[in-house]
Amino acid sequence: MIHSIQAQVCTESIRNNIAAIRRRLSPNTEICAVIKADAYGHGVRCVLPILQEANIERTVVAHLEEGLELRRLGWIRPILCLCPFLAVGSAQQRIQNALSAVTANILCTVTSVAETEALSLAANQTGRRARVEIKIDSGMGRMGFLPSDGEKFVATVARMPQIAIEGIYTHFASSDDEDLTYTQHQLDTFNTFRDRLSGQGFTIGGYHAANSAAVFRATHSCLDSVRPGLALYGYWGGPVGQRPDDLLPAMRIVARLTSVRRVPAGYPIGYGRTFVTSRPSLIGIVPIGYADGYRRLLSNNAVMTLAAKPGQSRRQVPVIGRVSMDQTTVDLTDAGPVEANDEIIVIDTDPHAPNSVEALARKLNTIPYEITTMIGSRIPRVSV
């Protein structure tokens, strides 16, 4: 099938970004690549082979089903599931999920004794030890144990013979802020907790705290492993002036103009007639809309880029009228010769382009994560 639009995922850029992360780490620090939410919208089927080739030590997902999918795709290395999926459902459902996790050798984040008991039962049935990680809330205020409660919970789990504590981790609330004072406070809290456990002789696989921003801005927080997500794909959520030069955005969205036609001056464009041509105009239709994650807030407020072709360089063209569910209109009047089927770049890999992921995030007063994860399933992901 020929697609009029696709998300092109650059394998070389992801390789480059992995190398950029490695350069910030000590030789013994492992990378736990965060590939939840379909690899932040990039397509886990595109990204996983790159991680395998790059010898990434672990992957991180949010939900059990994401972890099981990685196993189906052939990933044999450790997988950490962040969300405590054993905290919900009936007793029978919890046991079934625990069996799935233990059988697939997925590391479970646990938040209660009931969850560890379900894992113990599953371990007895399968003849395999259940592997867990415990999250400490060092100041994020979302999920995890306060340090005082976490110490007691670790002691309880450590006495369960069917369970191995593979890791203990925390998550920074604001490592992408200009001021890193609070990040340092969280790290100090976590390190104090780690030191207290070390003095009690517990066997813990490792400790981790650093996310993407911390890897680049607070390298002293890179402990036994790190959990980069956004940086794997080449995007930056920290202060604009601190964007690392060696991060390369990995995905661009490229479409083909499905219609190019002329309209007279004074002609309304799109729903609500929010744009009216001031001159005879050449307009083009791009097959992407808000159903595909191209936000309606970009109506009359964004640009796309006509791809270069023989005799013509790249040209930026404005979005005009309202973004529809499936289509967006651009003004081609000043772009020179253009025809249907010409290539147009909706989202550019140039981080400084006005239609880059980061530029669109700033325009929409949001974050790069939201831009990439909202790209809809109708747009095929293709490795290039």
Does pLDDT of 2 surpass 80?
no
- Residue 81: band (very low, low, confident or very high) from pLDDT cuts 50, 70, 90: very high
* Catalytic annotation present for 309: no
Query: Which of these is catalytic: 169, 207, 235, 271?
Result: 271
Are 285 and 329 contacting, i.e. CB atoms less than 8 angstroms apart?
yes
**How far apart (Å, rounded) are the C-alpha atoms in residues 32 and 57?**
6
Instruction: Identify whether 271 is a catalytic site residue.
Output: yes
Average pLDDT over residues 26-30: 97
Element (H, E) at 64: helix 64-72
Among 142, 39, 51, which Cα is nearest to 369's? 39
**Per-residue pLDDT tens digits for 285-336:** 999 999 999 999 999 999 999 999 888 899 999 999 999 999 999 999 999 9
Whether 264 contacts 254, CB under 8 Å = no
Q: How confident is the model at residue 256 (pLDDT cuts 50, 70, 90)?
A: very high
Average pLDDT, the chain: 97
Cα separations (Å) of 48 from 44, 67, 95, 155, 349?
Answer: 6, 12, 29, 36, 20
Model pLDDT, residue 201: 85
- List the one residue out of 69, 128, 73, 373 whose CA is nearest residue 237: 373
State which amino acid sits at residue 253.
I
Residue 85, token pair as written in the block: 């999926």
Please give the torsion angle defined by the CA atoms of residues 265, 271, 274 and 276, in that order, rounded to the nearest 10 degrees.
0
Q: Report, as an integer, the average pLDDT of 64-77.
A: 98
User: In the predicted model, what is the mean pLDDT of residues 251-277?
Assistant: 98
Q: Exactly one of 36, 135, 169, 369 is catalytic; which is it? A: 36
DSSP states along 193-229 = HHHHHHTTT-----EE---HHHHHH-GGG--SEE--S
The least confident of 42-46, 205-209, 216-220, 306-310 is 306-310
Token digits for 226? 């790190």
* Residue 130 CB neighbours (<10 A): 28
198-203 contacts, C-beta under 8 A, 24 or more apart: 200/155, 202/154, 202/155, 202/158, 202/165, 203/158, 203/164, 203/165
Q: Residue 297 corresponds to which tokens in the numbers above?
A: 């807030």
pLDDT at 199: 86
- Segment (H or E) for 372: helix 368-373
Tokens of 166: 């593979």
Return the HEC string of 136-181. ECCCCCCCCECHHHHHHHHHHHHCCCCEEEEEEECCCCCCCCCCCH
Query: Identity (one letter) of the amino acid at 344?
Result: I
The full set of domains in the chain, from first to last, is 11-239 (3.20.20.10), 251-348+350-383 (2.40.37.10)
Give residue 100's pLDDT: 98
**What tokens were used for 93?**
């459902």
Q: Does the structure show a pLDDT above 90 at 203?
A: no
DSSP assignment, residue 8? E
pLDDT band at 202 (very low <50, low <70, confident <90, very high): confident
Residue 143, pLDDT score: 95
Residue 9 in contact with residue 15, Cβ under 8 Å?
Answer: no
CB neighbours (10 Å) of residue 53?
12
Average pLDDT score over residue span 206-217: 98
Q: Which of 102-106, 199-203, 355-359 is least confident?
A: 199-203
pLDDT at res. 3:
85
Which two structure tokens, joined as six digits, stand for 208? Answer: 């981790």
Q: List the beta bridge partners of residue 8.
A: 252, 382
One-letter amino acid identity for 369? Y
- Closest by CA to 232, choosing from 83, 46, 90, is 46
The single residue listed with the structure tokens 């992901």 is 381
Token output for 204: 């813990």
pLDDT per position as a tens digit, 124-153: 999 999 999 999 999 999 999 999 999 999
The model's pTM is: 0.95
Are the CB atoms for 144 and 135 separated by under 8 Å?
yes
